Amino acid sequence: MLQCIFLLSDSGEVMLEKQLTGHRVDRSICAWFWDQSLSQGDSFKSLPVIASPTHYLFQIVRDGITFLACSQVEMPPLMAIEFLCRVADVLSDYLGGVNEDLIKDNFIIVYELLDEMIDNGFPLTTEPSILREMIAPPNLVSKMLSVVTGNASNVSDTLPSGAGSCVPWRPTDPKYSSNEVYVDLVEEMDAIVNRDGELVKCEIYGEVQMNSQLTGFPDLTLSFANPSILEDMRFHPCVRFRPWESHQVLSFVPPDGEFKLMSYRVKKLKNTPVYVKPQITSDLGTCRVSVLVGIRSDPGKAIESITLSFQLPHCVSSADLSSNHGTVTILSNKTCTWTIGRIPKDKTPCLSGTLALETGLERLHVFPTFKLGFKIMGIALSGLRIEKLDLQTLPPRLYKGFRAQTRAGEFDVRL
Amino acid sequence: MAPPAASQRYPSPSQPSGKSEVSDLKTQLRQLAGSRAPGVDDSKRDLYKKVISYMTIGIDVSSVFGEMVMCSATSDIVLKKMCYLYVGNYAKGNPDLSLLTINFLQRDCKDEDPMIRGLALRSLCSLRVPNLVEYLVGPLGSGLKDNNSYVRTIAVTGVLKLYHISPSTCIDADFPPTLKSLMLHDSDAQVVANCLSALQEIWSLEASHSEEACREKESLLSKPVIYYFLNRIKDFNEWAQCLILELAVKYVPSDSNDIFDIMNLLEDRLQHANGAVVLATVKVFLQLTLSMTDVHQQVYERIKSPLLTLVSSGSPEQSYAILSHLHLLVVRAPFIFAADYKHFYCQYNEPSYVKKLKLEMLTAVANESNTYEIVTELCEYAANVDIAIARESIRAVGKIALQQYDVNAIVDRLLQFLEMEKDYVTAETLVLVKDLLRKYPQWSHDCISVVGSISSKNIQEPKGKAALIWMLGEYAQDMSDAPYILENLIENWEEEHSAEVRLHLLTAAMKCFFKRAPETQKALGIALAAGVADFHQDVHDRALFYYRVLQYDVHVAERVVSPPKQAVSVFADTQSSEIKDRIFDEFNSLSVIYQKPSYMFTDKEHRGPFEFSDELGNISITPEASSDIVPAQQYEANDKDLLLGIDEKDDNKGLSSNNGSAYSAPSLENSSNITSQMQELAISGPATSATTPQSSFGFDDLLGLGLSTAPAPTPTPPLLKLNPRAALDPGAFQQKWRQLPLSLTQECSVNPQGIAALTVPQSLIRHMQSHSIHCIASGGQSPNFKFFFFAQKESEPSNYLAECIINTSSAKAQIKVKADEQSTSQAFTTVFETALSKFGMP
């Protein structure tokens, strides 16, 4: 049971305080917390669950904003962390991001949201589509909504019907003049290439994201052509478990608007679309660097926004790096980013140059890890294909759309 | 990031700027109060927003309370919400003014818009002013009967809030039975869930003094109720599902069919998108099958993939919580994750707290089949930019080496680290090589040749240096220039800042001397002279001791300082299996995150799930308060010294075996015993406070002073004053319990009231604590309870330890007492018995 939630800015200022139970938590706990995280150095490194002299503190950090929850009693820690994550998600959904200004400008909305999300320290509803019915999103978002839905008032005065409906994620009876449903496969490739150039780990983490604007109470069935490749599935609460167990078919009544239908993982992939071949040789206080990036297996669609970034080791005093394609930037914190974009047909992009080591060092002993970024539109690299999307009762003027994209997730190339 | 300005962090109500603006607001609000002009709501909104933004920054705006209430007559819902927020925040401090708000809140509770009805009811219950409770009962009653589920949901929580303000009002209004019938019959899942959470809380708090509540609490765990919830668990939202799953954990199934039914009902919960639901389900599965070994193993297989999914798909904070739990599981069943080790490979961008846990996981899952891959991966981290992680991964390699049979390849890897010539890598590696040698002496030749080539000048870290020196001393016969390296180090005695290194230098010089006397004699002389002159007490004492032992007999000295060593087969585990089991029982709680059972960190008091301490919550924390957590860190630091500690014990053993027979002259015996006492003192540095009284007592005894320090047994035992804030960490307790002799065993009877109150161990623990006797561990079930207590003398750090076994059916208690000061143990036993006899008395 949470007793209090604080929102702290990136300078440790308390932006918002929401007491949840009769046992008030003094604000001074935030000062204690902030001293603590300053003494830890980087606040990103401090533990998500810590014990203060008076309370247990749960914290998550999103875009510099710290969401801090206090409790004096035993509770499942993951529940607190999950809830804070949901709060952060809902806020960024409502405000179009979270940062100090947005929260300060919209603190009334934040209070209203927290009021509906948690009562007496126990989470109530965190489903965005239901919250949106109770509390109208502010500013631009609500303006857009009012244009889209034709509802002029930005103060919602209807009661959350979903709170009382037997399908807790769906409002009882939404009406649309045109019925649309979009399915997006969004995949991320996580890979580790070790020092010997071997692919140690290569996995796809994928999400099926949907945007459904359907009238009434639609019952959908989504099936894949090759569901057997999927592992570690997690489903939105709306997905019925039995049909999936027996025929690998997703049968569900969708929430209204955007939501994540399922997430999955495809493991043991054998190939990456892009290769990175780094080489560093060091001698007499200077290192020669050369990095080649090229296409290993053509996915059939253009590979875009290729970037390669790495942290120069602390012992490097200066760096002189250039490339035959794209741009190289080195920030003051020794982060080097090479923006390649698309790979040209006629040459292989190459980054080369020298690093000067601090005086007294002959050779480099700390090696950087290269992080690769890329994006491929129109293809799911896992090979997952959607077979069909059926509606039990067809509404008039139905439009179905499918898209796919893959981008690099945690793609580490070690040296 | 810059530290925040003081004014932001410690906003004071008397800020001059705030004050004038607040009075401005006051006048403006007053003007608007009675106005019915069009557009007045908009200007009110602006003003309200200002007031609340001041409140948010921390400026005290309670002075406009009256005006805010006057302006609250409005139909605008956003205005209403702001007003409710304000009132909820300040009502507790202004009980008189709060009466003003009752009127409009009560009116809103009858509004035709259910949303306003609900919000008003919520605010009304959140006022938390004790003298206004009479106004709550009516609206709550009608709220529970409201035809809109939103209002009912809020009313149910309201009942719980009312209970916390005034339990008697809540019980007298007969709310709990109403909630019970709502829970079993309401059509709305959220209402049902809130009823469950409210009833659980009310009945567990009532249970201590009402038998009926106790029965009702039990009835929540009856088969029909549990199945009522589990059958419709899908109708509830994710948080309510967690609540139900927590309830299901406490359910005791009647037979194995029952267990399988529940698992079938819950199986799909493992696939839920919310990690909290998954983890709560995992706990149900694990607890249900504890008694069925083979099914329990299958459960591990079943829960594996959902948990691994959670690790890699959530935010780092979520991964952290899950990984902590996985670590607990993997220690119990290492084989289950053996094939999935790649899940625990660290990605570059992960925060270091996640990486650290992943390294621990990799260490734990390593077995014959995957060691090669894991060690290869770990070696890559050793060259990582993040130095803390590089260190951890070297340590992980070492841990794997210590738990494996085939260490051949790993030793090679470790030796390769030494060639990296990074200061911290070398230091960490040396410590590991030292530990490896103690376990696998057969590797000494390979290691020594590499270690011998390391220049001691390159090692700055005390730990690494101490390890190197230890090896130089231990393997002096194999390293040709060991005496000369030691000599070099000893010549720079003055520049050596770490006492630990100087202690090791002394011992190493001694060991080297026994093996290669001619080459070392000079260096040893310098070392002993420098040691005796050292300002550090431990170093001084050890040097003096060595000097005297050498003077007495070189062969005796050799047996004392450098006895033949036996290979260490298993290094002491820092956590006993009992503690691990306790943590496992507390799966899905903070215990797992802290890797300690709850009794070790819940502030000496075993808190139930619903008890708060108000004093604690309200005091403000000053930076000094953070010193409270220091002991825990010290404890950990001591653990890290464990390996060295064992090393010292070897020395010690040799010493004590010599004590009895070898000496004859009484004067000498005395002095050697004295030095041995001193030696003991020096060695047990961290636990000095604990051993001081005991050894000084022995010291005096030997000098023939008899009972001089121990006060004669006091005729009036209750004079023994105990320290109400005594502290002793469990590790020290265990150590003492083993070391100290049993001073008293007593049996006494417990009065019937006490037996009646002892339904759970916690009740006795709290009672004893009020008599300054603290519990360190407890367990058992009716009729047998077992407790370990400790207490400390008020004025000096003298400890009393007690084991107390209570059998409730025979109403007998058996007490075993051990004490630092034997002479006062009778007094303590009397205090203990008196305290026990008062247990259960009003």
* Residue B710 per-residue DSSP state: S
> Is residue A312 within 8 Å of residue A319, measured between CB atoms?
yes
Alpha carbon distances (Å) from B376 to A281, A323, B120, B333: 21, 32, 63, 23
As a whole-number percent, the residues of chain A with pLDDT over 70 amount to 89
Distance CA B510, CA B561 (A): 7
Mean pLDDT for B803-807 is: 81
Instruction: Tell me whether residues B78 and A155 touch, CB distance under 8 A.
Output: yes
Nearest CA in chain B to A262: B273
Whether the model clears a pTM of 0.90, i.e. scores above it, the answer is no
Q: pLDDT digits over B755-771, tens only?
A: 777 766 677 777 777 77
pLDDT above 60: residue B5: no
pLDDT tier, B704 (very low <50, low <70, confident <90, very high otherwise): very low
B49 contacts in chain A (CB < 8 Å): 108
pLDDT band at A186; cut points 50, 70, 90: very high
| ipTM attached to this prediction | 0.75
Query: What's the count of helices (H) and strands (E) in chain A, helices before strands?
Result: 8, 23
> CB contact, 8 Å: B590 with chain A?
yes
Residue A138: per-residue pLDDT? 63
- CA–CA gap between residue A94 and residue A71 (Å, rounded): 26
Closest CA to A66 of A36, A22, A108: A36
Question: What is the predicted pLDDT for the residue at B6?
Answer: 39
Question: For position B405, what pLDDT does the model report?
Answer: 60
For residue B243, the chain A residues in CB contact (below 8 A) are: 122
A54/B383 touch (CB, cutoff 8 Å), yes or no: no
Q: Tell me if B378 sits within 8 A of B397, measured CB to CB.
A: yes
pLDDT number for residue B645: 37
What pLDDT is stored for residue A45 in this prediction?
Answer: 57
C-beta separation of B587 from B325 below 8 A: yes
Residues of A in contact with B625 (CB under 8 A): 32, 53
Question: Distance, in angstroms, between B382 CA and closest chain A CA?
Answer: 8
Contact B113 A19 (CB under 8 A): no
Higher-scoring residue by pLDDT: B142, B388: B142
pLDDT of residue B596: 74
**DSSP-assigned letters across all residues of B53-103:** HHHHHT---GGGHHHHHHTT----HHHHHHHHHHHHHHGGG-HHHHHHHHH
How is residue B605 annotated by DSSP?
S
Candidates A124, A126, A190; nearest CB to B190: A124
Spatial contact of A186 and A386, defined as CB atoms under 8 Å apart: no
Q: Which of A1, A10, A234 has its CB closest to that of B271?
A: A234
Q: Locate the DSSP E strands across B591-684.
A: none
Higher-confidence position of B261 and B87: B261
CB nearest to A26's CB, from B81, B189, B620:
B620
For chain B positions 361-420, those within 8 Å of chain A (CB to CB) are 376-377, 380, 383-385, 420
Contacts of A160 in chain B (CB under 8 A): 150
The answer to whether the CB atoms of A26 and B618 lie below 8 A apart is yes
Q: Are strands A118-119 and A65-71 parallel, antiparallel or unpaired?
A: unpaired
Residues B238/A237, Cβ–Cβ less than 8 Å: yes
- Measured CA to CA in angstroms, residue B765 lies from A8, B605, B760, B772 at distances of 39, 8, 9, 10
The answer to whether the Cβ–Cβ distance between B190 and A263 falls below 8 Å is no
Min CA distance, A387 vs chain B (Å)?
Answer: 23
Q: Encode pLDDT of B26-38 as tens digits.
A: 888 777 776 666 6
φ/ψ of B309, rounded to 5, equals -60, -45
Compare CB distances from A192 to B189, B310, B345 and report the shortest one's residue.
B345
Q: Give A315-351 pLDDT, tens digit per residue.
A: 888 888 888 888 999 888 888 899 998 888 888 899 9
Cβ pair B313:A54 closer than 8 A: no
Q: Which residues of A touch B325 (CB under 8 A)?
A: 78
Residues above pLDDT 70, as percent of chain B = 79
| DSSP letter, residue B333 | -
pLDDT higher for A91 or B826?
A91
| A370 pLDDT more than 70 | yes
Q: B581-585, B627-631, B750-754: which has the minimum mean pLDDT? A: B627-631
Q: Which of A111, A159, A234 sits opposite B85 (nearest CB)?
A: A111
Query: Mean pLDDT in chain B?
Result: 75
Out of B1, B149, B385, closest to residue A311 by CB: B385
Taking CA atoms, what residue in B is nearest to A240? B268
Confidence (pLDDT) at A183:
92
Q: Which of A390-404, B53-67, B233-247, B612-626 has the lowest mean pLDDT?
A: B612-626
Interior angle at CA B691, CA B660 and CA B747, nearest 5 = 95
Is pLDDT at A244 greater than 80 in this prediction? yes
Phi, psi torsion values for B490, nearest 5 degrees:
-70, -35
Specify the pLDDT at position B281.
Answer: 92
Here the tokens at position A383 are 């090979």
Closest approach of chain B CAs to the CA of A23, in angstroms?
7
Residues of A in contact with B351 (CB under 8 A): 44-45
Does residue B823 surpass a pLDDT of 90? Answer: no
B306 touches A at CB < 8 Å: yes
Q: In whole angstroms, what is the distance from residue B377 CA to residue B397 CA?
A: 10
Structure tokens at B547: 């000097």
Decide if A193 contacts A276 (C-beta within 8 A).
yes
Predicted local confidence at residue B576, as pLDDT: 65
Does the pLDDT value for residue B392 go beyond 80?
A: yes
Distance from CA of A313 to the nearest CA of B (A): 6
Nearest-CA distance from A386 to chain B in Å? 21
Which residues of chain B make contact with A83, given a CB cutoff of 8 A? Answer: 239, 276
- Mark yes or no for CB contact B190/A77 under 8 Å: no
Min CA distance, A14 vs chain B (Å)? 7
- Contacts with B380 from chain A: Cβ below 8 Å: 194-195, 414
Identify the bridge partners of residue A234 per DSSP, sorted by sequence position.
A263
Cβ pair B86, B100 in contact under 8 A: no
Q: How far apart are CA A375 and CA B265, in angstroms?
A: 41
Q: Which of B202, B375, B385 to mutate to test the interface with A (most CBs of A within 10 A)?
A: B385
Write phi, then psi, for B588 (nearest 5 degrees).
65, 40
Question: B502: number of CA atoms within 13 Å, CB side?
Answer: 27
Residue from the list A36, A60, A192 with its beta carbon closest to the beta carbon of B315: A60
**Chain A / chain B CB contacts < 8 angstroms:** 309
pLDDT of residue B714: 40
Residue A182 has a pLDDT of 92
Q: Which residue from A59, A234, A237 is facing B309, i.e. has the nearest CB?
A: A234
Q: What is residue B488's three-state secondary structure?
A: helix
Which tens digits make up the pLDDT trace of B306-331? 888 888 777 888 888 888 888 888 88
pLDDT tens digits along B331-341? 888 778 888 88
List CB contacts (< 8 A) between A81 and chain B.
Answer: 315, 317-318, 320-321
Interface probe with A: pick from B146, B238, B286, most Cβ of A within 10 Å: B238
Q: Is it the case that residue B801 has pLDDT exceeding 70?
A: yes
Q: Express each pLDDT in A351-365 by its tens digit.
A: 988 888 887 777 777
Residue-wise pLDDT for A74-90, tens only, equals: 788 888 898 999 899 88
Closest approach of B811 to chain A, Cα-based (Å): 32
A137-169 per-position pLDDT tens digit: 665 444 454 445 444 334 444 444 434 444 556
pLDDT tens for B198-207 read: 998 888 888 8
Instruction: Calculate mean pLDDT across residues A377-384.
Output: 88
- The tens digit of pLDDT for each residue in B448-496 reads 777 777 776 777 788 888 888 888 888 888 777 888 888 888 888 888 8
CB A16 within 8 A of CB A30: no
In angstroms, the CA A134 to CA A375 distance is 37
pLDDT-based confidence at residue B713 (cuts at 50, 70, 90) = very low
Convert the pLDDT of each residue in B219-252 to its tens digit: 888 888 899 999 888 888 888 999 999 888 888 8
Q: Which DSSP string corresponds to A150-210?
A: ----SS--S--HHHHSSSTTS-S----SSEEEEEEEEEEEEEEE-TTS-EEEEEEEEEEEE
Query: Given a cut of 90, is residue A22 above it in pLDDT?
Result: no
More confident residue, B748 or A70: A70
Nearest CA in chain A to B344: A201
Q: A143-157, A211-225, B793-807 — which one is most confidently predicted on average?
A: A211-225
Determine the pLDDT at residue A184.
92
Read off the pLDDT of residues B527-542 as tens digits, 9 standing for 90 and up. Answer: 888 888 888 888 899 9
Q: Chain B contacts of A27, Cβ < 8 Å?
A: 58
Pairing status of strand A179-193 against strand A398-414: parallel
For residue A187, the model assigns a pLDDT of 92
pLDDT band at B100 (very low <50, low <70, confident <90, very high): confident
Amino acid identity, position B801: L
